[in-house]
A and B are shown apart, each in its own frame.
Chain A
């Protein structure tokens, strides 16, 4: 045992430097590509001075080069792409969702406090009562378009002024066009539309003082008006004062809003951390407490029923086509069976929904019945299950066909020779061997259907709804119920929705974990 052995060559050694020329080339191209992607990602990050992001890009690219340029670290070469993708598309979204669930992010609370203040002030500029209007030419002082910004203004009487941050000065010698708009004046350079637009921030900033707190502001390129900003932010009291009504809105950094003492809020808020508030709200909602368990029950039935349904149907069809003798037209059958799987699922769901329409649907016409399929709790649930099983069984048929072909026929033949009936041979030999391959797929099917938003939203929309509860329908899954909860109210509430997602994530994790442990024990038995 003590003899030094060189480790057996690992697969993939061909990509190591001693490999073929083609291998070298592929590797060089891929590494160059990773450097290119890094440079591509780095530039905008540098422009916005996002050093943390830049560091991350550098670190990831560094690790990639370090791993692939070495002759060693062969296992890492295999693991790295998967790990990077896993982090990018599984770990980051989960972490992000958890982080978002601790904020009030959503409509009305999307940006920063500074942005909210800027918008509140900008939206409060109103025309003064007897406000003057001007025809505007945006110009620069002096002979160059980069000079100090000036508004050349013509009022309703045709008088011309130059306006800057200091105020208005009459400008009698200006050349004006037919509309009275200034075309040129000595000492000023009119800006082209593109030039004025390029200095848009300055144009928006400039309010030529017109006395009494009012200012003359540009509206586009060719008009100006006299207006006044009613609301102004004061950093001293961290509040916004409305000079028109006298109301004082104080910043509430816990909720991300400006509010008066008697609770009147300004509509523009900002994003703040709210800790566990979203979870507390979830727990305290009386609607959720009463609806949660009934929805969870149906949700489990739906996922389990779909899984069982597609498995039984898929397996039955697979067995029927898995005969030792060649079936005439077998390929055609297979093709037809895969059709539901090959068609766009969302279109099929809408089609099924229309077929179950009580008055105009195909189903009632064919059967000659008058059943309100989507209007009754039981029938709507049956419809949801039927449609979902119809859409899902071809996939299970494909899986089962593959798994059946991997089971040697000799095993079943041996069992039959030993006196087992067809059912017994299937039950004792084929099924256990099949389960080893199929069990993980069944768990995945269950977990997927537990959250199958489309299957419900596109067929029943969670309905029908009991007349005393418009929020929890008879066919609602947790995901459709909470979607309505988070997005049905006053616009989107991402923070709350994230909290709900975390809850569903935990439930599905728990179910999948238990299921996978079960399937692992299944494999032990067969070893």
Chain B
């Protein structure tokens, strides 16, 4: 265990704060078990921008803005902001869409998966199994030579646009222009105070950029490096912190039934997260990591973010997202379409590599 490594301590700090904020934001008003959930927040934000019509899911989440702008500030301060990109744009865009399909069928991103587990939601175990299997499958693909090429430094300002878009989002949050929608009921209306959400987002954005912490990255590196992987310890600390915080705030209710934002279709939870894990390995990080990378000037991650926003709108507008009642038929079809998409790209990617 690399105890004295600065990076290691940064990862631990980021993990502790992720666990604390993940629980605290829910206590302060965010939906239960959704103190931090990239997919839920993107669905809310897509609704706020008028991209779907679910009136219960419309709120421009300040946490998302904070993640990107925090990463931008940190990258600028550390002279790490580099405009880069140019690798498999269409595949990344569509990967973003299918990432949201997988998350919507499970009801949550990988961070929320762990937040659900640490609150005692045992239905999330199937999602965890799916995520692990997906990451493992993705790694097998990487080992076989499949993978999107690395982003290269680009001329011009390709990497500036996503941070700029989120900067405009920040202005919109305070100006509240008339084209934005804000839910007055449902989970979109549940939110922590704006400045606290924004502050937590900025702080986590800075730390995630510095530490490179990522849930699927932790699992991927653990498969590769075992206990020597510092991200594994980050993940462990995140889980322990969130569990302790849930216990301390009375939000720990172990069981299968009556869990917030959960359903009992375990097979589809597993497949949804399998898709998320597999795609995350191929595109180099989970939805949270894509936001952080987009803030650092990575235009490829920026395209994934745009794809995720589009996917968030689609899952709500087309009724693909699961609810406590279960997974809708076309949600299941969409997950299978996502698996077909990633399988086809793996096959064609390997062929191109050969």
Are these two chains actual partners, yes or no?
no
